[in-house]
Amino acid sequence: MSILVLGGAGYIGSHAVDQLINKGYTVAVIDNLQTGHKQAIHDKAIFYEGDIRDKMFMQEVFTKESVEGVIHFAASSLVGESVEKPLLYFNNNVYGTQIVLEVMEEFGVKNIVFSSTAATYGEPKEMPIVETMATHPENPYGESKLMMERMMKWCDKAYGIRYVALRYFNVAGAKSDASIGEDHVPETHLIPIILQTALGQREYLGIYGDDYDTPDGTCIRDYVYIEDLIAAHIAALDYLQKGNKSNIFNLGSNNGYSVKEMLEAAREVTGKEIPAKVLPRRSGDPSKLVASSEKAKMTLAWEPQITDIKQIIKTAWDWHISHPKGYE
């Protein structure tokens, strides 16, 4: 029996595959390598290159593998791009999930752990964000993830396919031995951009707005360490395999850091000056997003191990120093 990881060559998926294999699971990976890297896939995983929207391909994989559970990371995930190209997001994310669920139903696979996002909430007025708060996605990316969650809810009712949706806040860092890490082209995320600047690969960090309603005027985010985030996925899989009901959990650290605080922390970790310049706001950025992860802690017995922001940045720095050109 194997765990099928969709999007297992991506930043988060590759860390999941690695941790599952190290915990003794048999793992099969599907990835279309559009944004993922073949080198990121653990060599003990069976790799099928293809697209989740290709139903015949998916049926072939489900015929070859005896799938006991699915972990679904295969989606487009850039807020800005989703505003420009909403149909691409509905096609890849929503239609892709439609095929995944159709094939799971056909092959009688009953468990799915699903990568969702804080972007489903939009910008709630109260912090920290708890799972019972209303969802008002403010961009097509968040909307597509909420649609995917809702598809799963109805598939649970009709076919008994149970799901856990994990709503991530800002995922950060790399495996502690720096063998796998974050490599996006183009890179849009704060920590890798700061560290590329520290390496001299960028002239400066552009701070997107310092006139937000926050103490230093820059946006506040909740950064969760990648290996801890993955531990929650394995706990969620176990939760489903024990027969528990479908559920939704936030995954964050309960701590918020501003862009300026992140920059300062990175300057300390790297010992580099890291030039920065304030730029206009980036469209679609909420001023503050901080999670309450109490539900995951209570229900999944999830206990993040690395919560110190400098320690998280250090793991990313080790990856960047050892892979200055990413996986290339």
How many residues sit in the footprint of ligand UDP (CB under 6 A)? Answer: 15
For CA atoms 235, 240, 241, 243, the dihedral sign is positive
> Which residue number, 144 or 246, has a Cβ lying nearer to ligand UDP?
144
Q: Is 121 a catalytic residue?
A: no
Report the nearest approach of ligand UDP to the CB of residue 318 (Å): 19
Distances (CA, A) of 141 to 93, 133, 201, 279: 9, 19, 29, 24
Q: Is 180 among the residues that bind ligand UDP (CB under 6 A)?
A: no
Q: Is 170 among the residues that bind ligand UDP (CB under 6 A)?
A: yes
Choices 21-29, 83-91, 183-191, 229-237; region in contact with ligand UDP by CB under 6 A: 183-191
> Which residue number, 49 or 261, has a Cβ lying nearer to ligand UDP?
261
Place of tokens 């502690």: 176
Selecting among 25, 89, 121, 141, the annotated active-site residue is: 141
Report how far residue 175's alpha carbon sits from residue 181's, in angstroms, rounded to the nearest whole number: 6
Choices 13-21, 66-74, 135-143, 188-196; region in contact with ligand UDP by CB under 6 A: 188-196
Structure tokens at 172: 């950060």
Which residues between 11 and 70 bind ligand UDP (CB under 6 A)? none
Q: Is 259 among the residues that bind ligand UDP (CB under 6 A)?
A: yes
Q: Is 316 among the residues that bind ligand UDP (CB under 6 A)?
A: no
Quote the crossing angle between the two packed helices 259-270 and 309-322, to the nearest 10°.
Answer: 60
Contact status, residue 289 vs residue 118, Cβ threshold 8 Å: yes
Contacts by residues 135-141 (CB-CB < 8 Å, ≥ 24 positions apart):
138/284, 138/286, 139/79, 139/82, 139/83, 139/284, 140/82, 140/83, 140/86, 140/89, 140/90, 141/76, 141/77, 141/78, 141/79, 141/81, 141/82, 141/89, 141/93, 141/117
Report how far residue 276's alpha carbon sits from residue 130's, in angstroms, rounded to the nearest whole number: 33
Q: Is 79 among the residues that bind ligand UDP (CB under 6 A)?
A: yes
In the set 285, 302, 314, 319, which binds ligand UDP (CB under 6 A)? 285
Choices 52-60, 155-163, 187-195, 233-241; region in contact with ligand UDP by CB under 6 A: 187-195
Report the nearest approach of ligand UDP to the CB of residue 198 (Å): 13
| x/- letters, 192..231, toward ligand UDP (CB under 6 A) | -x-----------xxxx----------x-x----------
Q: What are phi and psi of 288, to 5 degrees?
A: -150, 130
Distances (CA, A) of 203 to 195, 314, 317: 11, 21, 18
Q: Is 282 among the residues that bind ligand UDP (CB under 6 A)?
A: yes
Q: Is 129 among the residues that bind ligand UDP (CB under 6 A)?
A: no
- Site for ligand UDP, rule CB under 6 A: 79, 170, 188-190, 193, 205-208, 219, 221, 259, 282, 285
Catalytic residues: 141
